[in-house]
């Protein structure tokens, strides 16, 4: 408990004599290693506070629900808020409401007809996260995912790259929900030990429900724009097939790049084969060096002058059965000459209609980190890379098109970024 409630930083804490307030026991059949990470508490209509704990029984991942009237005595509910067989240990669960009518965030205890609930879990077995959108049944204290919201490790993710152990909070000052996440390492254990540190926090992101109601959208918080310095603007640049365009004038090792592409000949898109259902596998199969019709096109970041090292973030457009399909990839296969690094290629399908919408890509680049947001934040991929050549003033930035058909850079804004300031 905080020793001094008047201290705005709550710097001194005292252990409660009531400890442990919540614990694994014979009733819940949970051992201590599978009982962790309480969520933000929310207040129910019965004036009792609720918290969920991440857990598992064998391969059954579950969110154990506890209730309290005073934050001291906690009683386990007779049933879990939610559970899914075959998902293993649930770490860092998060449960919160999202508005169905606006981008404004909601207090964690909010209820009503114009909202949905999100349940996110970090899957210990897979080391990535998954979330569903659904309904919180107040009477039964259970969560029910919407029909079509895939409730397994094959479902939706906040981020399809290096992003784990995330947590949101409601910012009442600006009426937004903010997402924090952990970017872990891609280097070897020996390299981590030599560095003396491991893992960093991602840039905080505002998060809200897409207009479709079927997924969440994320965007870097507005405050990051205060770090912008020198700006470069390009408008209406034709990128012919096989071309590379250097974006000079910004510090390529520490930059904020926002680019949008126009497509004029969609009918020339490759046909999407029915077996291509896994976007990460498809991105690995069709990396930045594999030419297609419409794509790959996008950005080469943290690149050496000779392109021997680069991280490619790009789109490909396919012709599906009844619509065009947009694939977003983050290809780390050439990110470093140091082959001891993890250089996995990541990918996701992005819910964007290229017939009526421009394809937008924003990447935040910070030495070893590339956080990319496709389709206005509908697809997010974080990369952790360790170039040996493309470092400091030897790093370069390019727009590229390795498809056979031309694309248009409708607009590009790139900023050099200053170092972060901590108040």
User: What are the E-state strand segments in 263-395?
Assistant: 270-271, 297-303, 311-319, 324-331, 346-350, 359-366, 369-374, 379-384
Q: What is the pLDDT of residue 1?
A: 83
Q: What is the pLDDT of residue 192?
A: 87
Better pLDDT: 153 or 166: 166
Q: What is the pLDDT of residue 43?
A: 97
CB 303 within 8 A of CB 336: no
- In the predicted model, what is the mean pLDDT of the chain? 95
Tokens of 112: 């009503």
CB 54 within 8 A of CB 20: no
Mean pLDDT for 204-232 is 98
Kindly list the distances between the CA atom of residue 202 and the CA atoms of 140, 199, 229, 307, in Å, as whole numbers in the listed order. Answer: 36, 10, 20, 27
Checking if the pLDDT of 98 tops 80, the result is yes
32-219 folds as Tachylectin-2; Chain A (2.115.10)
Mean pLDDT for 318-326 is 96
Mean pLDDT for 193-202 is 89
pTM, full prediction: 0.95
CB atoms within 10 A of CB 37: 17
Checking if the pLDDT of 208 tops 90, the result is yes
% of the chain with per-residue pLDDT over 90: 89
In angstroms, the CA 228 to CA 233 distance is 13
Q: For the chain, what are the domain ranges?
A: 32-219, 229-417
Strand pairing of 396-401 and 243-246? Answer: antiparallel
**What's the pLDDT tens digit per position in 7-34?**
999 999 999 899 999 988 777 678 888 9
Checking if the pLDDT of 415 tops 80, the result is yes
Checking if the pLDDT of 60 tops 80, the result is yes
Nearest to 258 by CA among 120, 334, 372, 96: 372
CB atoms within 10 A of CB 23: 13
Q: How remote is the C-alpha of 287 from its chain's centroid?
A: 21
Burial class (CB in 10 A: 0-12, 13-18, 19+), 224: middle
> Which class in CATH covers the domain with range 229-417?
mainly beta
**What's the pLDDT tens digit per position in 242-296?**
999 999 999 999 999 999 999 989 999 999 999 999 999 999 999 999 999 999 9
Confidence of residue 149 (pLDDT cuts 50, 70, 90): confident
- Rg of the chain over CA atoms, in angstroms? 23
Q: For residue 347, what are the β-bridge partners?
A: 329
Confidence of residue 190 (pLDDT cuts 50, 70, 90): confident
Confidence of residue 159 (pLDDT cuts 50, 70, 90): very high
Mean pLDDT for 172-179 is 98
């Amino acid at each position: 408990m905080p020793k001094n409630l008047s201290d705005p930083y709550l710097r001194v804490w005292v252990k409660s004599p009531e400890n442990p307030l919540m614990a694994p026991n014979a009733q819940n059949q949970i051992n201590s290693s599978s009982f962790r990470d309480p969520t933000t508490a929310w207040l129910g209509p019965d004036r009792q506070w609720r918290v969920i704990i991440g857990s598992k029984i064998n391969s059954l991942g579950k969110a154990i629900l506890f209730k309290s009237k005073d934050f001291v005595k906690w009683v386990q509910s007779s049933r879990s808020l939610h559970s899914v067989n075959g998902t293993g240990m649930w770490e860092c669960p998060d449960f919160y409401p999202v508005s169905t009518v606006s981008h404004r965030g909601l207090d964690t205890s909010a209820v009503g007809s114009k909202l949905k609930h999100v349940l996110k879990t970090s899957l210990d077995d897979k080391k990535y996260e998954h979330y569903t959108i659904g309904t919180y049944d107040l009477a039964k204290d259970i969560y029910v995912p919407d029909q079509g919201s895939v409730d397994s490790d094959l479902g939706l993710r906040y981020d399809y790259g290096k992003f784990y152990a995330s947590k949101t909070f409601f910012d009442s000052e600006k009426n937004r929900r903010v997402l924090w996440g952990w970017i872990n390492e891609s280097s070897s254990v020996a390299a981590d030990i030599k560095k003396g540190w491991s893992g960093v926090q991602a840039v905080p992101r505002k998060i809200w429900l897409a207009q479709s109601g079927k997924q969440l959208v994320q965007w870097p918080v507005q405050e990051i724009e205060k770090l912008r310095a020198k700006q470069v603007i390009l408008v209406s640049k034709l990128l012919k097939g096989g071309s590379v365009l250097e974006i000079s004038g910004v510090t390529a090792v520490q930059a904020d790049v926002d680019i949008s592409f126009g497509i004029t000949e969609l009918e020339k898109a490759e046909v999407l084969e029915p077996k291509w259902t896994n976007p990460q596998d498809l991105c690995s199969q069709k990396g930045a060096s594999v030419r297609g019709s419409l794509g790959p096109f996008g950005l080469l970041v943290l690149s050496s002058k000779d392109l021997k090292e680069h991280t490619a973030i790009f789109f490909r457009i396919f012709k599906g059965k009844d619509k065009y399909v947009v694939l977003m990839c983050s290809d780390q296969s050439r990110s470093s000459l140091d082959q001891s690094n993890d250089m996995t290629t990541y990918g996701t399908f992005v819910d964007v209609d290229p017939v009526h919408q421009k394809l937008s890509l924003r990447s935040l680049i910070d030495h070893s980190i590339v956080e990319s947001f496709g389709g206005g934040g509908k697809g997010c991929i974080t990369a952790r890379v360790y170039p040996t050549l493309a470092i400091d003033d030897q790093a370069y930035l390019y727009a590229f098109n390795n498809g056979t058909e031309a694309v248009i850079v409708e607009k590009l804004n790139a900023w050099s970024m200053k170092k972060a300031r901590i108040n």
